[in-house]
Amino acid sequence: MSMIRQTNNTSCPTNGVPTPLPGVPNNISYIAVPGQNPSAPWMVSCCDPYPVHLSDKCWLWCEVDPELESASDAVVAEGFSACMSTNGRDRNESIGLLYHDKKNSAATRRVSLLHSVVVALATSMVVAMTSVV
């Protein structure tokens, strides 16, 4: 099965994000995922209040709140991954995530599908445990 999907005459990978991301400034922190619909509810919800942008017709991205920049790269990436899963991200259409931290523009954090699932399960367990009171 191919991980390339044909949409609007543009072949876009669904399982990765290039670095650097085309057309995105290096001096901001951002999250990017494969996708072509900047109105996707799961992306809009997790990026709020920042707008979702489309890079090179293949990748969705949004700026990360400056307050989150003090957290580790892993925490920011895992938090966004869990948020997107909770809000209905379709893993058949979009797998992978890139966190670009402006403090270290050379370093990026990629989160694997397995890592995302583990974080989502852990988050679900914490939510379930706190709601059983």
The number of CA neighbours under 13 Å toward the Cβ of 16 is 7
96-131: per-residue pLDDT in tens?
899 999 887 654 444 444 545 545 554 555 444 445
What is residue 48's three-state secondary structure? coil
Spans of all domains in the chain: 4-131
| Angle in degrees, 0-180, between the axes of helices 113-131 and 73-86, rounded to the nearest 10 | 70
Alpha carbon dihedral 18, 19, 20, 26, in 10-degree steps, equals 130
Query: How many Cβ atoms from other residues are within 10 Å of residue 9's Cβ?
Result: 6
30-71: per-residue pLDDT in tens?
999 999 999 999 999 999 999 999 999 999 999 999 998 889
The answer to whether 105 touches 26, Cβ cutoff 8 Å, is yes
Q: d(Cα 130, Cα 66) in Å, to the nearest integer?
A: 28
Q: Locate all alpha helices (DSSP H) within 6-112, ordered by sequence.
A: 41-47, 73-86
Q: d(Cα 100, Cα 28) in Å, to the nearest integer?
A: 8
Q: d(Cα 59, Cα 12) in Å, to the nearest integer?
A: 8
2-16: per-residue pLDDT in tens?
333 334 446 888 888
Q: Locate all alpha helices (DSSP H) within the chain, ordered by sequence.
A: 41-47, 73-86, 113-131
